[in-house]
Structure 1
Amino acid sequence: MKTIIRCGKLFTGLADTAEADQALVIEGGRIVWTGAYAAAPNPEAGDRFVDHAARFVMPGLSDLHTHLSYGNARSEEEVDLYASLEYRAIRSLAAAQRMLKAGYTAILDPATAGHVTPALRDALFTGMFAGPRITAAGQSLTSRQGLYDYYPSWIGCPSVSTGALVRSPTEAIEEIRRQTKEGVDVIKLAMDGIQGDRKSGLYAGFTQEETTAMVREAKRLGRKVVVHVRGREGAMYAARAGVDILYHASRIDNEGIRAAKDMGVSICPSLLLLVNNIEYAQPDDPSYDWWPGINRRELADAKINLRKAYDAGIPFLTGSETGFGITPYGEWSAKEFEIMVNHLGMSTAEVLRMATHGNRAMLRDGDEHDSLVAGKRADFIVVDGDPLADITVLQERSQITDVWMDGARIDLPETPVEIPRHQREASQGFWNRTYTREVARGYTPNPLGMDGMSKVESTIISEAAE
């Protein structure tokens, strides 16, 4: 039995334009024919016809920087400590399905706790649940004082955190081998270390020799290597070592750009977290007094340095760093496209080709679903609007009317934007301010006694009594 999809406009992911009045013919989960609707094969008995003559059909979106296990975290502790690994795994399914409903049929998760995302990847692959195609890393390798080693030294990197502290090249190689044995697709390195000078931004977390050794071992074992790096030095070392993706690279310099070009390294800017934190952080957020300012300076540098890299011919990819409280699942991911157009000066068509075709080179079996042409997996979305004319239409989930994978329409229940937090898994940040007597004078005291309880308080007390 075949399915014939009539498309008002069809964007295959391979060209800068969309063709009008086209058709897709699907059989066995794959596209078997594309072309003008007038020339489409006639339906036979039992075939299904779906009319999207008024809509825009395009490959499913992909995001190379979504942290499915983070749970819309508002702190490092919420990422790493307060939820059990088992709870994080279940919560990750809800996150993945929210991304799918937003049009993302393929995702790369570059850092997770334990084996959460690889396990979710396998459950979705076997058809146990509906969800996007996932390419998964394990814990990110970090040095002492590098990203992910953000707790005090007497705590270190807990075993349930998203970072794995490696204290020598030997430990790093062993960690890469362990993760490879456990089935990760990607090895992630945290290349940023402590704060450097204004020009450098951050010193590298690993030396050139250490970085090269880790990348060489990961590649020997058939793994791709991606790195978190904002600073000049870390970007240069990683590019020289021949990693696959530099995430951010906001302060990459000319030497780093030359190395990236020579070694075939790609850049995924992931600017959404910076932009959203600048635009939407509020005065009562604990980081408001310092973090948006840092983001403004980094964004200003990124616009200059990343444009230099782009003009030098470095391949660019797109990923949103979804998974934090300021970048929740299924809400903002497609804003990364608008940011790349407005802040880096890329064309709308080029960014859409990255999100639908270019990214797939970094994904597990990506060549199976990297365009809408004969022989490919039938993964596509239907949009009520024209993203080539207005790329922001992809940010409106109501405009994405259908999501298809393997030739079947996906119908998922709506899940909440705000993933509910159980009192035993939320970080215990009890107050946003210090209540001195002077501060307290500005507030009307809350009522004492049981009559003043909120619904949440009542629930907690009832559970404790049981």
Structure 2
Amino acid sequence: MSRIHVNCQTLFTGLEDQARQQQTLVIENGMFSYVGSRAEAPQPTPGEAVIDAGDHFVMPGLVDVHTHLVFGNAKSEEDIDLHVSPEFRALRGLFFTQHLLAAGYTSVVVPGDAGQCSIAVRNSINAGMFTGPRIAASSNVIANRQSLNDWFPSWVGTPEYFSGRLCATRDEQIGEIRRQAKDGVDVIKIAMDGPHFRPNGEHIAAFTEEETRIMVEEIHRLGKKVAVHAYGREAVLYAAKAGVDVIFHGFFMDDECIEAILKSGSHLAPTFTMLANNVEFAEDYEASTKSGYAAMQRRVIDVGCRNLRRAREAGIPFMTGSDSGFAITPYGEWHAREIEILVDWLGFTPAEALRAATSVSAKMLPASQPVGALEVGRRADFIFVDGSPLENVAILQERSRIRSVYLGGKRVEPTVPGYDPNKVSDFNTVKWSELHTRQRAVEMGKRPARIDQ
């Protein structure tokens, strides 16, 4: 295959603090074979393609380690698990991969879904049947009685088509891990805690320290990576001691957790974006405000920022994830907000935040997919940006700023057609969001406070 030469006025490798000037990328068989000074670059031979990036900022394709590709911009847990079949979820996920590419995200980690949904999307893309981002696929989230994803009442349980898989015993946990490994997952997610608290307000870990260690050892033995949902101190500590690859959230960690993470080499992915959007948009939803949900999210943000700043200062590496796939975080819209949050809330420099969103987050992709940096030996996934994210990372949230997307050295043209949410995403059957008493009607101005005779 002939080489492709890309001349770049400004280039950010994803590995350094500064952008380089007057650089050239040389691509062979979809991989970078040269990244360096234009003056020293191999000269193109007749017939080889030469691309001029002009004044665009050239950087690695972005990586989101927390995108629920098949959730369909869900409004509720019912939307995730009940209203459409796993087959429809997979096809819908394939549709939404175009929204990710258009936002500059060339790789995503899917941390938990039903059955083989994201596996099927990944396989169809890898087979060349469709164009889409590189995907680290997963299957059902391993849950227990006190964890997220066992969110329906006990009389409903967690049927196989749900995104959670209840594994209440040691044998069930190991059996589920081996089932998922057989089916070809890249990542296995464990829901380490959920909305269950001790009287003092501390989150209760859903698995013991020993259970966690045994699960993580088995997952790693089978060559897979481990992601965990963990808000509370206990869950974070158990996950860190077990040596998981990435801890999502970690908002209520303490110094003991930080020490354990440093020792194990685990990564943190706060996934503040969903909380930020919940707080920012709560004013548009009075029911959310009345329920106290928005206020709770603000408290989590306040505590989480304090603890995660300490974790960053201690030297823990961070990845970026948005929790996209919900109505509050639709596909292709908010992925890059997490980069801005790392800068504005946690004190990252723009270069540090961009590395978190590229070369660091890429560690969650399979070894067969070396991405995340403009470096010899990595896959040639990169984007052209209008403007410099090193000066303002927020520009990455503007889709119009993503001028070109390249996968394996080939430019792709994502198609992002409009769609009817009532046919694609929004199948929730809730008809009313609050109790419409007479007093509520008065408050809304629908009825007078007093009926005069």
* TM interval, short-chain normalised: over 0.9
The SS at the match of 2:403 is: strand
The 5 A counterparts of 1:38-437 are: 38-196=39-197, 201-284=202-285, 286-289=287-290, 290-365=292-367, 368-416=370-418, 420-422=421-423, 426-437=427-438
How far is the alpha carbon of 1:308 from its aligned partner? 1.5
**For the structure 1 residues 153 and 137, does the alpha-carbon distance in structure 2 shift closer, same or farther, using more than 3 Å as the test?**
same
Aligned residue number for residue 450 of structure 2: none
Which residue type is aligned with residue 362 of structure 1? M
**For the structure 1 residues 43 and 218, does the alpha-carbon distance in structure 2 shift closer, same or farther, using more than 3 Å as the test?**
closer
The SS at the match of 2:56 is: strand
The SS at the match of 1:114 is: coil
**For the structure 1 residues 32 and 424, does the alpha-carbon distance in structure 2 shift closer, same or farther, using more than 3 Å as the test?**
closer
Aligned residue number for residue 451 of structure 2: none
How far is the alpha carbon of 1:78 from its aligned partner? 0.4
- Which digits, 9 at most, give the CA deviation of each residue in 1:166-206, with x for residues without a partner? 12111111111111111111111111144325875411111
TM-score by length of 1: 0.91
What is the rounded CA distance, in whole Å, between the counterparts of 1:195 and 1:444 in structure 2? 39
Over the residues paired in the alignment, what is the CA RMSD in angstroms?
A: 2.0
Preserved contact between residue 32 and residue 375 of structure 1 (Cα < 8 Å): yes
- Which digits, 9 at most, give the CA deviation of each residue in 1:276-329, with x for residues without a partner? 111112453643321111111111111111112222222211111111111111
**For the structure 1 residues 370 and 438, does the alpha-carbon distance in structure 2 shift closer, same or farther, using more than 3 Å as the test?**
closer
Preserved contact between residue 239 and residue 265 of structure 1 (Cα < 8 Å): yes
Identify the range of structure 1 (264-273 vs 41-50) with the bigger mean alpha-carbon deviation: 41-50
Preserved contact between residue 229 and residue 248 of structure 1 (Cα < 8 Å): yes
What is the rounded CA distance, in whole Å, between the counterparts of 2:312 and 2:105 in structure 1? 25
- Which digits, 9 at most, give the CA deviation of each residue in 1:54-87, with x for residues without a partner? 1110110001000001111110100111111111
Preserved contact between residue 6 and residue 24 of structure 1 (Cα < 8 Å): yes
How far is the alpha carbon of 1:165 from its aligned partner? 0.4
Which residue type is aligned with residue 410 of structure 2? A
Preserved contact between residue 268 and residue 318 of structure 1 (Cα < 8 Å): yes
How far is the alpha carbon of 1:366 from its aligned partner? 6.4
Identify the range of structure 1 (27-36 vs 8-17) with the bigger mean alpha-carbon deviation: 27-36
What is the rounded CA distance, in whole Å, between the counterparts of 1:268 and 1:334 in structure 2? 13
- Which digits, 9 at most, give the CA deviation of each residue in 1:306-353, with x for residues without a partner? 112222222211111111111111101101000011111111101111
What is the rounded CA distance, in whole Å, between the counterparts of 1:361 and 1:265 in structure 2? 11
Preserved contact between residue 348 and residue 388 of structure 1 (Cα < 8 Å): yes
What is the rounded CA distance, in whole Å, between the counterparts of 2:408 and 2:127 in structure 1? 13
What is the rounded CA distance, in whole Å, between the counterparts of 1:354 and 1:425 in structure 2? 33
What is the rounded CA distance, in whole Å, between the counterparts of 1:412 and 1:306 in structure 2? 35
How far is the alpha carbon of 1:46 from its aligned partner? 1.5
What is the rounded CA distance, in whole Å, between the counterparts of 2:295 and 2:320 in structure 1? 24
**For the structure 1 residues 149 and 226, does the alpha-carbon distance in structure 2 shift closer, same or farther, using more than 3 Å as the test?**
same
**For the structure 1 residues 315 and 439, does the alpha-carbon distance in structure 2 shift closer, same or farther, using more than 3 Å as the test?**
closer
Which residue type is aligned with residue 363 of structure 1? L
What is the rounded CA distance, in whole Å, between the counterparts of 1:303 and 1:444 in structure 2? 42
**For the structure 1 residues 17 and 316, does the alpha-carbon distance in structure 2 shift closer, same or farther, using more than 3 Å as the test?**
same
How far is the alpha carbon of 1:144 from its aligned partner? 1.1
What is the rounded CA distance, in whole Å, between the counterparts of 2:406 and 2:147 in structure 1? 41
Aligned residue number for residue 27 of structure 1: 28
Percent pairwise identity? 44
How far is the alpha carbon of 1:440 from its aligned partner? 5.3
Structure 1, unmatched stretches of 5+, are 446-466
What is the rounded CA distance, in whole Å, between the counterparts of 2:384 and 2:210 in structure 1? 48
How far is the alpha carbon of 1:368 from its aligned partner? 2.1
How far is the alpha carbon of 1:437 from its aligned partner? 4.7
Identify the range of structure 1 (357-366 vs 283-292) with the bigger mean alpha-carbon deviation: 283-292
The SS at the match of 1:246 is: strand
How far is the alpha carbon of 1:434 from its aligned partner? 2.8
Preserved contact between residue 84 and residue 425 of structure 1 (Cα < 8 Å): no
Preserved contact between residue 200 and residue 232 of structure 1 (Cα < 8 Å): no
Which residue type is aligned with residue 87 of structure 1? F
How far is the alpha carbon of 1:21 from its aligned partner? 2.1
Structure 2, unmatched stretches of 5+, are 448-453
The SS at the match of 1:157 is: coil
Preserved contact between residue 240 and residue 263 of structure 1 (Cα < 8 Å): yes
Preserved contact between residue 74 and residue 426 of structure 2 (Cα < 8 Å): no
The SS at the match of 1:281 is: helix
Superposition misfits of 4+ residues, deviation over 4 angstroms? 197-200, 437-445
Preserved contact between residue 200 and residue 251 of structure 1 (Cα < 8 Å): no
- Which digits, 9 at most, give the CA deviation of each residue in 1:12-59, with x for residues without a partner? 111111112222122322222232334444332212222212111011
The 5 A counterparts of 1:2-21 are: 2-21=3-22
Preserved contact between residue 138 and residue 187 of structure 1 (Cα < 8 Å): yes
What is the rounded CA distance, in whole Å, between the counterparts of 1:277 and 1:61 in structure 2? 24
What is the rounded CA distance, in whole Å, between the counterparts of 2:287 and 2:92 in structure 1? 25
Preserved contact between residue 197 and residue 203 of structure 2 (Cα < 8 Å): yes
TM-score by length of 2: 0.93
Preserved contact between residue 138 and residue 179 of structure 1 (Cα < 8 Å): yes
**For the structure 1 residues 347 and 113, does the alpha-carbon distance in structure 2 shift closer, same or farther, using more than 3 Å as the test?**
same
Preserved contact between residue 232 and residue 252 of structure 1 (Cα < 8 Å): yes
Preserved contact between residue 98 and residue 415 of structure 1 (Cα < 8 Å): no
